[in-house]
Structure 1
Amino acid sequence: HGALHQINDQLDVFKPITKWAERITKVQDIPEVVARAFRELLTGRPRPVEIELPPDVLADDSDVVIQTAQLDGTGFPEEAVFAEALLALCNAKKILILAGDGAQSGDSSQQLRGLAELLHAPVITTPEGKGVIPEDHPLALGAAYYGFGVARALIPKADLIVTVGARANRDMSGIPELGAGQLSVQIDVDPTEVQLTSPTATALIGDVAQILRELTSRLRGSRLSTTGWELAELDDARNWSDWNISKVTTYQKSVIDTLRDVLPRDSIVIAGVTNPAYWAHLTFPSYASGTYLTSAYFATLGFAFPTALGAKVANPDSPVVALTGDGGFLYNLSELATAAQHGINIVIVLFNDGAFGASLNDQQTQYQGRVLGTEIRNPDFMALAKAFGIVGMRTNLEEFGETLRYALTIKSTVLLELPIQTAVPPFQASA
């Protein structure tokens, strides 16, 4: 009611962006609520939780009994449903797997690869699923994003689609609706995702790795009808996708190709909300689970730089690179002090077009050039880097690769600025 930091309905602010949120009004409820919070946090779909604790409750010195969180098992599909999925997999001739972020946890990616190889099933990912199968694997077909990628060409040819831990949003992925006779099996830890994306699918709800492991085990002793896909057919789809992307991109693909050529295989890339990173979803090969991070459908400006700091702290021996635009970087540039103070050595690739580029391009193309609030007056980023005590480097498209290679050898956070032109992103392009 107007107290410091307080807003009306504060709990309701957190509910859409957390898995579970609760307000504590009595000190006696603290142990139960905290135990519930850890149970929600550590089981099922991993998402943040929030507890709201008013100051008067926090100051109460009453005695309480501490509880230990009882972690529930994730569960396993009923046998009848599992048998239905097995039958579909045994009878299908051409199977295609769509994998998302839900296939990244635990050893899910390893189990996914084993199932794909057993079924001779190619794997398409969402941007969040990149790396669940190495993208130089013969069955890896890259990501689907706003109609780009191979999904449009191959999904109509499959008679069974297996979706693993993916939010199959058809607007963002551009994945076509399934046709008559095409079957769908969806594997997910979260039943609400199945209801939202594939209400008619055979749904296997539970621990994704465990389900994949059990499917593979049972299918090894079964008679499979799959004929697999001709490698030439998959190569044709890849070539078509590359051609389709090259029609639209100007400099972006060459920048991403250079990035991949320079970075070690185990590098972690944080793809922020910036034009080259959008195209990186489609053109940057990722080779291991958890090495390509995005803000998913939230498209959070400012996400890349602070996330890269966390990724480096968690993986100190791996090179970490943040891909960010100038607009997004301005959201969190004060974290340069954090990087310098704690010696968190990452490379920030700052794509500078002097604008919130996607919005600027939208205004110029959709509103007859009427531009409002999308052009940015930027600081001198090199002077800014010097002021924070980190290394600043400005490069160009021709020297980007060599400059990046040198930046990776420096024992400091490096702000690597690359001036670019505003260009069309995938979601404003015609695939």
Structure 2
Amino acid sequence: MPKLTGGQTVIESLKAQGVDTVFGIISIHNLDIFDSLFASQDSMRFIGGRLELGCGFMADGYARATGKPGVLITSTGPGAADSVGALGESYFSGTPILEITTNVEQEFIGTGKNSTHETKDQLAMLESVTEWAAAVNQIESIPDNLMEVFDRFQTRRPRPAALEIPTNLLGEEVDVEVLTAREPQVPQGDPNKVEQALQMLLKAKRPAIMVGEEVQMQGGVQEIIQLAEKLGAAVVTADGAKGAFPEDHPQSLGQILGRRIWGENPVQEWLGTCDVVVALGAILPQRSTTGVQLSMPKDLIHVLLDGDSIGKNYDATVPIVANSQAVVQQWLGAIGDQDVHKGSSFMDEIAATKGEIRKVLQETWGNELKVFETVREVTPRNTIFSLDPTVATSRASRCLDIYEPRTFMHPHGWAGLGFAFPAGIGAKAGKPDSPVVCVTGDGGFQYNFQELASCAQYGIHPVVLMFNDSAWGVLKRYQSDRFGEHRQYATELVNPDFVKLFESYGFEGTKVSNVADLGRALDNAIKSGKTHLVEVQTPDGFGSLR
């Protein structure tokens, strides 16, 4: 059994779990972790940021793009606190992030003596935005705690975890066993419920499959395509799952999103006319389901790893607490070579509904549709889009076709600004051969524009597609709708020269004001292989862009 410091135990345990990339910021309290990283540069890459919020979003983007956990290293007090926004987004979106942070020396924890960065109750703060959080009191327990975290990532709904280590333990040396990764026990569906659900699907004449965000993280896309084609079922994707079923597939009806910021969507009413809906890995959040009067049929099969969330917004006829990929594999095995297709009549209905959705978009969001058709024309199929919760993003969810899983990411959980750019950096770090386009606004970009320094320092090059209306665009519209155009307040913004900002970091930028120039500039930016700004001027709002 080797002698290792606490810092070495952290790094060696992460390596044993297959981690090869970590994000974060060095601090006086975590110096021993970084000394161990220095000694492991041949097998573990560190990507530093300028603020823990941005670093947390980098880890989130890395996880969403790769399907592997994102690891974040922070430090006591202010460092851990600055990461809370990113952990909250990860929790409600369902992504696996591990934050390893420090605390003051054990002799000072809870004493109120105001040692450097001492916090009233740091663990409670972390517990409020994580699925699991623990405080280490001895070096020997670090491997066990990390094993617990990575087991949870693979067997439960993906959500963040936090491990807090007193700084004095990181430099101390003890005999410690580093544990190797275990093969996960993937949760299978209860056989009786799986059979009950299968019989409902076989008897249904007009079934629909709703693919959810757990599928993005834990896989199953190919099995779902196979099941959909065997049944001849319609397929929609829930918020957070865009791309988890290819939107150019003839049975795809796109996203279920509609009303509120997402516009009119015929599929919202049509879904309720189906015989049965099987929701796979979709938590069905109120804001995009019952909150916008999404219609659902009486018979709902709900497969979800988080059993406590089943039945929150819709009653489930058959609740199955399991991994969605595993359940679909169980169904496919039971179907075998049987002909269970619902026939050409239902396929014709799916095609007609698809056409109606397209017609409504053309009539209501014609300009927006043209913008994102132009974006799609110049972006390769494997392009990863990282988006902020802006007007443009609400339109992209309906108007931008996505073909592959893990290539459309946005903060659908907490819906906080500042996600797109650092998450895009994390995605590009994890998928260097895929183009990454960050879709953001002038306000949201300024939450974390300091991470341009990380792009320059580590040679990570996403493209930034910014729609600049010199305002908090979503709020400006809401304010105008509620109080009138003459009562707009606090929504106008004064901005820097963004092109010069990019140039100050050694990058380039292009300003455009029409759709044709947008397409050419974005095409050139992607082909350049460098961090590049395409700033689209939209003084009259996104919908006015032509």
Asked whether the 8 Å contact 1:120–1:229 carries over to 2, the reply is no
Post-superposition Cα deviations, 1:343-367, rounded to whole Å, max 9, x if no partner, equal 2222100110111111121112212
1:362 aligns with 478
2:522 aligns with 404
Q: Which residue of 128, 136, 142 maps to 1:30?
A: 142
The within-5 A match list for 1:207-286 is 207-221=323-337, 224=340, 226-227=342-343, 230-249=346-365, 251-286=367-402
2 CA distance for matches of 1:187 and 1:351? 38
Asked whether the 8 Å contact 2:251–2:351 carries over to 1, the reply is no
Give the deviation of 1:246 after TM superposition. 4.1
Post-superposition Cα deviations, 1:146-204, rounded to whole Å, max 9, x if no partner, equal 3343422321220110101112124314463435xx31111222222324344433122
Q: Which residue of 187, 200, 216 maps to 1:88?
A: 200
Q: Which runs of 5+ in 1 are unaligned?
A: 426-431
2 CA distance for matches of 1:290 and 1:418? 26
Post-superposition Cα deviations, 1:100-138, rounded to whole Å, max 9, x if no partner, equal 121224540000000000110010112421222221111
Q: Which residue of 414, 425, 441 maps to 1:325?
A: 441
2:501 aligns with 384
Q: Which residue of 229, 234, 249 maps to 1:122?
A: 234
1 CA distance for matches of 2:393 and 2:223? 28
1:204 aligns with 320
Cα distance 1:23–1:295, how it changes in 2: closer, same or farther (>3 A)? same
Identity of aligned residues (%): 28
Asked whether the 8 Å contact 2:256–2:267 carries over to 1, the reply is yes
User: Does structure 1 residue 187 correspond to structure 2 residue 303?
Assistant: yes
Post-superposition Cα deviations, 1:321-379, rounded to whole Å, max 9, x if no partner, equal 11011111001111111112222222100110111111121112212343333221100
Q: Which residue of 22, 38, 41 maps to 2:153?
A: 41
1 CA distance for matches of 2:382 and 2:341? 37
Secondary structure of 2:240 counterpart? helix
Asked whether the 8 Å contact 2:438–2:465 carries over to 1, the reply is yes
User: Does structure 1 residue 413 correspond to structure 2 residue 525?
Assistant: no
Name the stretch that deviates more: 356-365 or 232-241. Answer: 232-241
Give the deviation of 1:66 after TM superposition. 4.7
Moved over 6 A (4+): none
User: Does structure 1 residue 54 correspond to structure 2 residue 158?
Assistant: no
Give the deviation of 1:59 after TM superposition. 5.0
Q: Report the AA paired with residue 296 of structure 2.
A: L
TM-score computed with the length of structure 1 as normaliser: 0.90
Asked whether the 8 Å contact 1:82–1:204 carries over to 2, the reply is yes
Aligned residues: 423
Cα distance 1:201–1:382, how it changes in 2: closer, same or farther (>3 A)? same
Cα distance 1:187–1:175, how it changes in 2: closer, same or farther (>3 A)? farther
2:490 aligns with 373
2 CA distance for matches of 1:40 and 1:153? 37
Give the deviation of 1:64 after TM superposition. 4.9
Q: Which runs of 5+ in 2 are unaligned?
A: 1-111
Q: Report the AA paired with residue 377 of structure 1.
A: V
Asked whether the 8 Å contact 1:15–1:21 carries over to 2, the reply is yes
Q: Report the AA paired with residue 115 of structure 1.
A: L
TM-score computed with the length of structure 2 as normaliser: 0.72
Give the deviation of 1:306 after TM superposition. 1.1
Cα distance 1:350–1:424, how it changes in 2: closer, same or farther (>3 A)? closer
Post-superposition Cα deviations, 1:6-33, rounded to whole Å, max 9, x if no partner, equal 4333222222432211122345543432
Post-superposition Cα deviations, 1:271-316, rounded to whole Å, max 9, x if no partner, equal 2222112110011111111111112132121111111112112222
